[in-house]
Structures are given as structure tokens and as C-alpha cells.
């Protein structure tokens, strides 16, 4: 139907789809009949380099599920800061409004950040 369309896939056998002479099932014949009306070029691209295909193949996740999961995860971080070797002193001082020698730390919503990145306790 005119213009060539290049499809990048992380499913390597698909690049040989047009060269198949023997198809296993009748539905494969129907698929091939449908696809032949388009000018498709199928190219293999390793999954690690094909981020878009990787995202499209993942199940849909509800935003409220992500929020609930992160909320629980962040609550556990807050509890773990008190025992963490790296963060306990900095977190305690900042939580009580005291200055710390390390200027690049700050607390926002009870979570500790360093250079704007969330600090994750070792545990």
C-alpha cells in the first residue's frame, strides 16, 4: 500500500515471516494474507536496545496501585532511616530542624534526599 514501514521487534523469528514457505496453522495463512497488503520490513533488535517494545509488552499498571505501593515503600524508608549507618545522624538532625555539615541533604515529606535524589536505606 505504498510507503515502506519498518518494524523493530525483539522477537527474532519474526524477521523471517515473509520468507516462510510452510505455515503450521490456518490462522497463520490468514495473518500472512492480511500482512501482505502492507509494505512491511521486519528488523530484529535486541530487547535490551528496544525499550519501546519492552514497555508495550508489559501489563498495564493502574496509577493508584503504583501510588499505594510507593507509599508503603516510602513509609518503610522513613522507619529504616533511624537504623541506617549512612543516614541515621543526618536524618535525625534534619528531622529536628538542626543544621548538618553535609549541605546537600534535605528532608521533604519525611523522606531524605541528597542532591535531589531519594536516599534509600541499606536494609
CA angle 100, 113, 97 (to 5 degrees): 40
pLDDT in tens, 49-100: 766 665 566 666 555 554 555 556 677 888 888 888 888 888 888 888 887 7
**How many CB atoms are closer than 10 A to CB 94?**
19
Cell of 115: 542532591
Residue 9 has what pLDDT?
A: 79
pTM over 0.75: no
Amino acid at each position: 500500500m505504498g510507503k515502506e514501514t519498518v518494524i523493530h521487534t525483539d522477537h527474532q523469528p519474526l524477521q523471517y515471516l515473509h520468507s516462510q514457505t510452510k505455515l503450521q496453522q490456518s490462522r497463520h495463512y490468514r495473518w500472512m494474507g492480511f500482512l501482505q497488503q502492507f509494505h512491511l520490513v521486519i528488523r530484529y533488535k535486541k530487547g535490551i536496545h528496544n525499550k519501546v517494545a519492552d514497555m508495550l509488552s508489559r501489563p498495564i499498571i493502574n496509577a493508584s496501585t503504583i501510588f499505594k505501593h510507593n507509599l508503603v515503600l516510602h513509609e518503610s524508608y522513613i522507619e529504616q532511616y533511624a537504623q541506617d549507618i549512612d543516614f541515621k545522624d543526618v536524618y535525625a538532625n534534619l528531622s529536628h530542624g538542626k543544621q548538618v555539615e553535609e549541605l546537600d541533604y534535605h528532608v521533604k515529606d519525611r523522606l531524605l534526599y541528597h542532591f535531589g535524589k531519594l536516599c534509600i536505606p541499606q536494609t
